[in-house]
Amino acid sequence: MFKKGNINLLQNELKKSGLKAYLILTSDPHDNEYISEFYLKEREFFCPFTGSAGSLLITENKAYFSTDGRYWIQAENELNDSGIDLLRDGDINVPSLQQFIKENHFYPLGVNYSNITKTRLDKLNKLGIVTKDVDFSYLINRKEPSRANKVFKLSDDLSTLNYKEKIDLILNEVFKKGASANLITTLDDIAYILNLRGNDIPFNPVFYSYLYLSKNNGSHLFIDKNKIDFNIDGVEIHPYEDIFEFLLKHEDIKTLVDPSRVNARIYSILKEPVEAKNPSYLMKAIKGEKEIENTKKIQALDGLALVKFQKYLDENLDKNLTEFDYSSKLEEFRKESKLCFDLSFETIAAVGKNAAMMHYEPAQEKSSIVSKNDIELLVDSGGQYFGGTTDTTRTFLIGKPTKEYIHDYTLTLKALIAVSRAIFLEKSDGHTLDILARQYMWNEGMDYKCGTGHGVGYILNVHEGPNGLRYRAVPERDDQAPIVPGMITTIEPGVYKNEKYGIRIENNLLCTKAFSTSDGYFFKFETITYVPIETRSLDLSIMTEEEIKWLNDYHEMVYKKLSPLIKDDELLEYLKKLTKAVGR
């Protein structure tokens, strides 16, 4: 638990160690975006910020927290009176955290090399920032990670390839790169390769482990043995902590490793590293036939849950329920399906000014009342199913919209439609497509401080590279690979106005082949989210006939997908109303 005095404890250690500053990343030894409570405790002890991204820099007499535009409003509120200054990463005339450290001579800089990637550490060192591998986590009281979270196998009908086929494909690619082994430290890649899932990180069905693959030395999984109670044919299982001793014995072997994902301490052991992306990284993003078929099925189940939720919302607006109450109810609707075993992230349910904070999460003890006094309820949510991972946002009209709100909502839908209808040439990436969405906001001098979309895992992390939609490169996101058939990418433009409202509409898009000409192969998107889009907030006068047709065609598809799943006549009539065609 954060207290102002906690920072003083660390500053005293800095003086003893001869360090000018200590950098705490929201990270763990596997470079996960979301991390377990065990690893998050260090940042929480020294900083009151509750979001999922950001870096804390503690110097001899000051403290700074750096986070991107998704969290600026939230961070300003939560850091108030904490003694920690906010660095608005990505804002105009604001230096990057690395440049800030350099300009202010905050080094020698202490960093836990287990929690920073080799690439990120190199960037600090190339700027002339002297770093030292230190770990001050002994200052906090944190329990060892749970040993109770068991690993489980996916059934054969959930994967196109079995784990032996995947390992063979990976080792063939490793050989082409001039290496004879592959060290994989990213948890979602390991889960993907072995067709296993776990429960070590909330909402992310992964398990803490390392995987070493070699044609000559076999396959080796390093994991807490209490987590796994079955054998994996052809894979030798070792205790999690034995990875260091194992690598020291194999340090001279040419080993393919991704420096942008492996932690600096592990990397330092290898004497013959072959730097490249892990082959599994791209393999995982391109879904096979079974993955695509199953994802479409569970998207329909997810759509049904959201229709039930919207009906519940409409019928209970006079009961003074909170954002948290509604988010809990949506979880109930999702888990009516036996295939849904978890959420894919903490539900964002926000009204009014709360919705202007992109990653606002209601809590039972702190949550606003939802009523017709507000214009909108923004709900960004998703589920983990035995069959796929979902991520959907809808902004529901619950009060009387202003002209400004209607205009901004319509721009948001126009942005979504523009990308959804895109035809693009092979080798196009997120830079190519992002402007299709953002143009509507940019034309009016607005912008949303986040990417337009991200890759989605399959029964895995809801955020997944290497595909995404973003107008500029953000190295730590690593989401600018060409978008190819089989990839699933979100499209989620929005408008966020501080102290007013927030608007976001989000669908999941499957890249498919369109056609080919003498100029090359062309791709397109198939929308695989089946959830009605609010139409009462639209200004049809600024929509084109093609956009209106897209919306009506989309709702016709939603009705066809969801109606066979509905047995209740009243709910079916409600779905008909939500998907009714609109026109000028």
**SS3 track for 516-545:** EECCEEEEEEEECCCCCCCCCCCCHHHCCH
In single-letter form, the type of residue at position 449 comes to: K
> DSSP letter string over 292-361?
HHHHHHHHHHHHHHHHHHHHHHHHSGGGT-BHHHHHHHHHHHHTTSTTEEEESS--EEEEHHHHTSTT--
Backbone angles phi, psi at 269, to 5 degrees: -75, -35
Number of domains in the chain: 3
Whether 390 and 503 map to the same domain: the answer is yes
Distance CA 82, CA 93 (A): 24
Q: Are 155 and 29 in contact (CB under 8 A)?
A: no
Distance CA 411, CA 507 (A): 16
DSSP 370: P
Report the DSSP beta bridge partners of residue 236.
220
Distance CA 473, CA 260 (A): 15
| CATH code for position 380 | 3.90.230.10
**pLDDT tens per residue, range 500-541:** 999 999 999 999 999 999 999 999 999 999 999 999 999 999
Q: Say what the pLDDT of residue 203 is.
A: 96
Host H or E run for residue 126: helix 118-126
Q: Looking at the domain assignment, is residue 146 inside a domain?
A: no
- Within 8 A by CB and 6+ apart from 55, the residues are 23, 24, 25, 26, 65, 66, 67, 97
| 3-state DSSP assignment of residue 98 | helix
Confidence of residue 10 (pLDDT cuts 50, 70, 90): very high
Task: Verify cis geometry, omega within 30 degrees of 0, for the bond prior to 466.
Answer: yes
Distance CA 203, CA 216 (A): 36
Strand order in the sheet with 392-397: 348-351, 376-381, 392-397
Boundary of a domain, candidates 85, 106, 139: 139
Q: Are 242 and 250 in contact (CB under 8 A)?
A: no
Q: Say what the pLDDT of residue 451 is.
A: 93
- The mean pLDDT of the chain is 96
In single-letter form, the type of residue at position 332 comes to: E
Residue 191 CB burial class (10 angstroms; 0-12, 13-18, ≥19): buried
Q: Are 219 and 233 in contact (CB under 8 A)?
A: no
Residue 406 has pLDDT above 80, yes or no: yes
Kindly state the percentage of the chain with pLDDT values over 70: 99
**pLDDT tens per residue, range 60-72:** 999 999 998 888 9
Q: Say what the pLDDT of residue 69 is.
A: 86
Q: Say what the pLDDT of residue 147 is.
A: 65
Residues 3-11: what's their mean pLDDT?
93
Boundary of a domain, candidates 247, 277, 307: 277
Token digits of residue 575 = 């779905």
Whether 390 and 246 map to the same domain: the answer is no
Pairing relation of β-strands 209-214 and 181-184? antiparallel
**pLDDT tens per residue, range 302-353:** 999 999 999 999 999 999 999 999 999 999 999 999 999 999 999 999 999 9
Q: Looking at the domain assignment, is residue 145 inside a domain?
A: no
Residue 359 has pLDDT above 90, yes or no: no
Backbone angles phi, psi at 232, to 5 degrees: -115, 110
Cβ-based neighbour number of residue 241 at 10 Å: 10
Whether 293 and 265 map to the same domain: the answer is no
Whether 402 and 532 map to the same domain: the answer is yes
Confidence of residue 365 (pLDDT cuts 50, 70, 90): confident
Whether 185 and 293 map to the same domain: the answer is no
DSSP 401: P
Q: Say what the pLDDT of residue 317 is.
A: 96
Q: Looking at the domain assignment, is residue 147 inside a domain?
A: no
Residue 144 has pLDDT above 90, yes or no: no
Whether 116 and 193 map to the same domain: the answer is no
Question: Where are the strands (E) in 398-552, listed by range?
Answer: 423-425, 453-455, 464-469, 488-491, 494-497, 501-504, 507-517, 520-527
Q: Looking at the domain assignment, is residue 583 inside a domain?
A: no
Report the DSSP beta bridge partners of residue 66.
55, 87
In single-letter form, the type of residue at position 247 comes to: L
Q: Are 53 and 72 in contact (CB under 8 A)?
A: no
Chain-centroid distance of CA 395 in Å reads 20
| 3-state DSSP assignment of residue 199 | coil
Confidence of residue 112 (pLDDT cuts 50, 70, 90): very high
Residue 268 belongs to what domain range? 152-277
Whether 449 and 542 map to the same domain: the answer is yes
- Give the global pTM: 0.95
Residues 35-56: what's their mean pLDDT?
93
Whether 90 and 118 map to the same domain: the answer is yes
Whether 265 and 293 map to the same domain: the answer is no
User: What is the distance in angstroms between the CA of the first residue and the CA of the last residue of the chain?
Assistant: 56
Token digits of residue 365 = 């003890």
Residues 357-365: what's their mean pLDDT?
88
Host H or E run for residue 272: none
Token digits of residue 85 = 């200054």
Boundary of a domain, candidates 139, 172, 200: 139
Residue 103 has pLDDT above 80, yes or no: yes
Whether 351 and 461 map to the same domain: the answer is yes
Host H or E run for residue 156: none
Distance CA 317, CA 399 (A): 10
- Within 8 A by CB and 6+ apart from 530, the residues are 299, 300, 302, 303, 557, 558, 561, 562
Report which of 366, 375, 308, 368 is spatially closest to residue 337, judged by C-alpha positions. Answer: 308
**pLDDT tens per residue, range 118-128:** 999 999 999 99
**pLDDT tens per residue, range 430-455:** 999 999 999 999 999 999 989 999 99
**pLDDT tens per residue, range 291-305:** 999 999 999 999 999
Report which of 532, 438, 528, 547 is spatially closest to residue 490, judged by C-alpha positions. Answer: 528
Token digits of residue 367 = 């949550």
Greatest pairwise CA separation for the chain in angstroms: 72
Q: Looking at the domain assignment, is residue 144 inside a domain?
A: no
| CATH code for position 173 | 3.40.350.10
Q: Say what the pLDDT of residue 478 is.
A: 83
Whether 255 and 321 map to the same domain: the answer is no
Which has the minimum average pLDDT: 250-254, 256-260, 356-360, 540-544?
356-360
Nearest-5° angle of CA 449, CA 453, CA 458?
140
Whether 178 and 62 map to the same domain: the answer is no
| 3-state DSSP assignment of residue 84 | coil
Q: Looking at the domain assignment, is residue 31 inside a domain?
A: yes
Measured CA distances, 223 to 172, 207, 257 (Å): 25, 8, 19
Question: Where are the strands (E) in 38-172, listed by range?
Answer: 55-59, 63-67, 85-88, 109-111, 131-133, 152-153
Report which of 384, 403, 423, 420 is spatially closest to residue 199, judged by C-alpha positions. Answer: 384
Q: Say what the pLDDT of residue 527 is.
A: 98
Helices (H) then strands (E): counts for the chain: 17, 28
**pLDDT tens per residue, range 77-90:** 999 999 999 999 98
Residues 122-136: what's their mean pLDDT?
96
Q: Looking at the domain assignment, is residue 26 inside a domain?
A: yes
Cβ-based neighbour number of residue 569 at 10 Å: 8
Residues 11-25: what's their mean pLDDT?
96
How many residues are present in the chain? 584
Q: Looking at the domain assignment, is residue 77 inside a domain?
A: yes
| 3-state DSSP assignment of residue 168 | helix
Q: Say what the pLDDT of residue 148 is.
A: 72
